[in-house]
Amino acid sequence: MSAELNLATKNLNKMGYLELDVDPTLDLVAEINKLKKEKNAVILAHYYQESEIQDIADYIGDSLGLSQQAAETDADIIVFAGVHFMAETAKMLSPSKKVLLPDLKAGCSLADSCPAPVFRKFKEKYPDHKVVSYINCTAELKTLTDVCCTSTNAKHIIDSFPPEQKLIFAPDVNLGRWLVKETGRDMVLWNGSCMVHEIFSHEKITKLRIKHPDAAFIAHPECEAHILDIADHVGSTSSLLRFTRESDYQEFIVATEPGIIHQMVKESPDKVFIPAPPNNACACNECPHMKRNTMEKLYLCMKHELPEIHLPEWVIEQGVASIDRMLEISAKAGL
């Protein structure tokens, strides 16, 4: 091992990624494709990744699609171009495979908002309740969960419990409130939120809609209720993408992380997409965690097979049932 690689490996946990220089003349697309073949690796990318990463991925999708792919792949290495909880989920589903994440610090404010030891105490107050957790949570939280869900399958997961069964929903309070409204179930909600979806500006969106009266306003259910109340369509990233493709609208104001617009433009090149503005000075609303991944970090992580996701065995053993159950219910529902 070279001295540089040795030092970068030592600093991995501090930095989150291998801090090594990448030759700027290198054709990263060609190099990454070569590494994929050589190592029998598959790149799974979330819709919020930067466009170049989406374009080199073997599969691009929402949280449900990504976990289905992670469970089914026959690759030896899963490279997760997404955030930490997604890579952890892949590791739980395929524990014998090597799971790589280009930057370990690609976290998630929602997952961080629900620490497992605090949630354990909270859960003790509701001994008759089952726990449904949004997949955007830590692996340890999944050990305290009966069934996971994503925004694509959440209604099906909740409806899978008998009506008299009391439920706790964690960690996203906005998705939880939307589900209470949609399913008519009065659930106990954990008060977590996504730093991206909770800051869309009602006032700026209203002004944009006046300027673009023929545009559809579409929103992810992680947004706050006052934003969802004015939306023409609410759904997961894959549902929003499908809506833009299938609806007759020609213009869309999109209230979710703007990375998804790359696929929207690819699928409907003649339609117009406007990212919904947040309540700060920025024009769009990128997830700083998702955007920690870069082509350089992706290349380095595939080349050196670091950083790798490791989980304690007990976490995998006790947590995976909640994801398996989610996949089972989703398959039955044809999702």
Q: Show binding-site residues for iminosuccinate.
A: 46, 63, 134-136, 151, 220-222, 237
109 binds ligand 13P (CB under 6 A): no
Residue from 101, 194, 255, 302 that binds ligand SF4 (CB under 6 A)?
Answer: 194
Identified binder of ligand SF4 from the candidate list 49, 69, 73, 136, rule CB under 6 A: 136
Using CB distances below 5 to 8 A depending on partner kind, what does residue 109 bind out of ligand 13P, ligand SF4, none? ligand SF4
Integer Cα distance of 104 and 84 in angstroms: 6
Does 220 bind ligand SF4 (CB under 6 A)? Our answer is no
What is the Cα 18 distance to its own chain's centre? 23
Residue among 132, 106, 104 at smallest CA distance from 119 = 132
Instruction: Report the C-alpha gap between 23 and 303 in whole angstroms.
Output: 14
Q: Which of residues 281-320 bind ligand SF4 (CB under 6 A)?
A: 287, 289-290
User: Does 108 participate in binding ligand SF4 (rule CB under 6 A)?
Assistant: yes
Name residues contacting ligand 13P, limited to 122-161 (CB under 6 A).
136, 150-151
Contact 171, 133 (CB under 8 A): yes
- Cβ atoms 52, 295 nearer than 8 A: yes
H/E element, 79? strand 77-81
Residues in a beta bridge with 308:
100
67 binds ligand 13P per the rule CB under 6 A: no
Neighbouring CB atoms inside 10 A of 96's CB total 6
- Residue 132 has a CB neighbour count (10 Å cut-off) of 25
Restricted to residues 151-210, the positions that interact with ligand 13P (CB under 6 A) are 151, 194
Provide the binding-site residues for ligand SF4, judged by CB under 6 A: 83, 108-110, 136, 194-196, 257, 287, 289-290
Provide the binding-site residues for ligand 13P, judged by CB under 6 A: 47, 62-63, 136, 150-151, 194, 222, 236-237
